[in-house]
Amino acid sequence: MAITRWTPPEELSRQEEMLLKRLDRVRKLLGFLRLQRRVLFNDEFQAELESMYRDTGAGRDPVPPALMAMAAFVQAYLGVSDAEMVELTLVDLRVQMVLGCLGATKPAFSQGALVDFRDRLIRCDMDRRLLERTVELARETGGFDWRKLPRSLRVAVDSSPFEGAGRVEDTFNLLGHAARKLVVCAARLLRWRPTTVAERAGTEVLLMPSIKAALDVDWADPEAKASALKLLVNQLDELERWVEQHVPAKARADVEPHLATLRQIRAQDIEDTAKGPRIRDGVANDRRISIEDAEMRHGRKSSSYAFNGYKRHIATDLDAGLIVAVALTPANLPEQTAMPVLQDDFDHQRIEVSELYIDRGYIASDFVEHVVANKGEVICRPWQFSNRGLFAKSDFDINIRNRTITCPAGQTQRFIFGGLVSFGSKTCRACPSRSQCTTGTTRGRQVRIADDEALQQRLRNLVSTPRGRARLRQRVPVEHRLAHIASRQGDRARYRGVRKNTLDLRRAAALQNLEAAHRQAREAASTAEQKAA
């Protein structure tokens, strides 16, 4: 197997000049990609892409990796499927021009080649390099005057909901779906039909296309629903025992993941009582909501907005307008869990953050402490505490240097970070301001001191001034970038699982950077023309 380097011609043909004129109004990025393809995929970067392949001398020669990377960009930009992308390399002149195959009489690659290339990007973490390369391209094309930009960056981080691609099901259907996957796997190993396994295992409910149709009860009747659940759980328990007894030990590794999924759903959604199994009240911690996508979770953007899937996070360089890092997390995880992933990307690019613009969900992360420890600045709204008309925490004088807190009546107590300050009950009972401070009858007023109280105090001072509030508004560009990403990707994930969707998010962010570089390059060229005139 020999790896061929992608060397499309740099000089424009007459046909390409005509196509570029047509692309001056619509699909402008395709024209930019054609003009900058040799810069984007220079020899050094092509060598990095080629490192994903082993040159063993055996097997078929792969399509040039740089060509596949360009195809991945074009596919995401046009928003087409793998099958359609393959066809476009044969029937769309714009795509042929970008890929350097104008006049081709056969597709430039197969669907399998696209899938294999994405898998290689994931295995080698090269999708991160694709994103980084678009940042480098902006520098090399002259769209930005990087000499005037600070070496340490002003970075803003934000997140948005991202619905997962897997089907979300209720408890009955989750159990049935997991059981069917187990039956199909066991049937394949035993070389039986799935219906035969279901019959032998005593799980008649799986013989019908729908679990609820097989149970056939009035689902509005609590007693009938409880009886149906008991029947289903008993049959699934029998299925587990049957599989353990009849699937050969050497094949157990194949069925074990399906057994684990079934047991996970049962443990999270069902609890055993004296009257039999019942659906658990509330939601189990880290509850699984989909069989096809094991990493999707329930999440909330606010108290009134729930979603199922993931959260996408982006970090934007506010001065250059480029996305420098992205992360994807299950929807149930707090925003702060994305910061280690973003920090890893910062470290990979040797980015130092001098100013970090975030919302409050990220403030408990270690990276915030890292920025503060390195003399950086964190710009964020502080946590607000309501005390139902009584004195709020902001009415107390907190002295960070002396670690003391003084109430509105002048009583002072010492504190420790992360601790709870309790004012004396006798002192509070005798205080003339007691009715404005606490409703407690057996103890005095208590105030919680945060672990990052010093930072919270600085943020409270920040929002109290017009200049500080203006600085908070400087994170608006990251919200715009995130809106563009959401428009490009849509509200629903293209793939299943965190890692594949991280690749898709990085690809969308890379396209956003390419459009920014194109726009800045056009503006720079226009400015140069005006000066020349």
CA 209 to chain centroid: 34
Angstrom distance (rounded) from CA 420 to CA 449: 6
How wide is the angle at C-alpha 180 spanned by C-alphas 176 and 183, nearest 5°?
140
Phi then psi dihedrals of residue 388, to 5 deg:
55, 50
Question: Which whole number is the average pLDDT over 165-190?
Answer: 95
- For the segment 467-510, what is each residue's pLDDT rounded down to a tens digit? 999 999 999 999 999 999 999 999 899 999 999 999 999 999 99
- For the segment 444-467, what is each residue's pLDDT rounded down to a tens digit? 899 999 888 889 889 998 988 999
Give percent helix, percent strand, percent coil of the chain, each to the nearest 5.
Answer: 55, 15, 35
Q: Is 431 left (phi over 0), alpha (psi -120 to 50) or beta?
A: beta
Residue 151: per-residue pLDDT = 66
Which strands, in side-by-side order, build the sheet including 412-414?
Answer: 397-399, 404-406, 412-414
- For the segment 135-155, what is each residue's pLDDT rounded down to a tens digit? 999 877 755 555 555 568 999
3-state secondary structure 162-195: EECCCCCCCHHHHHHHHHHHHHHHHHHHHCCCHH
Give the confidence band of 412 by pLDDT, cuts at 50, 70, 90: very high
Residue 324: per-residue pLDDT = 96
Residue 533, token pair as written in the block: 């005139």
Residue 211: per-residue pLDDT = 92
pLDDT of 10 > 60? The answer is: yes
Residue 145: per-residue pLDDT = 53
- For the segment 41-84, what is each residue's pLDDT rounded down to a tens digit? 999 999 999 999 876 555 567 899 999 999 999 999 999 999 99
Q: Give the residue among 230, 206, 262 at the shortest CA–CA distance from 197.
A: 206
In this predicted model, which residue has the larger pLDDT, 389 or 514?
Answer: 514
Angstrom distance (rounded) from CA 453 to CA 457: 6
User: For residue 121, how many C-alpha atoms fall within 13 Å in the half-sphere facing its CB?
Assistant: 24
Q: Evaluate the CA torsion angle 243, 244, 246, 249 in order and state its sign.
A: positive
Residue 503, token pair as written in the block: 């690749």
Containing 337, the helix (H) or strand (E) segment is none
Mean of all residue pLDDT scores within the chain:
91
Q: How far is CA 183 from CA 98, 212, 257, in A?
A: 48, 18, 12
Residue 337: per-residue pLDDT = 96
Residue 36, token pair as written in the block: 């900058």
pLDDT of 309 > 90? The answer is: yes
Question: Which whole number is the average pLDDT over 198-225?
Answer: 91
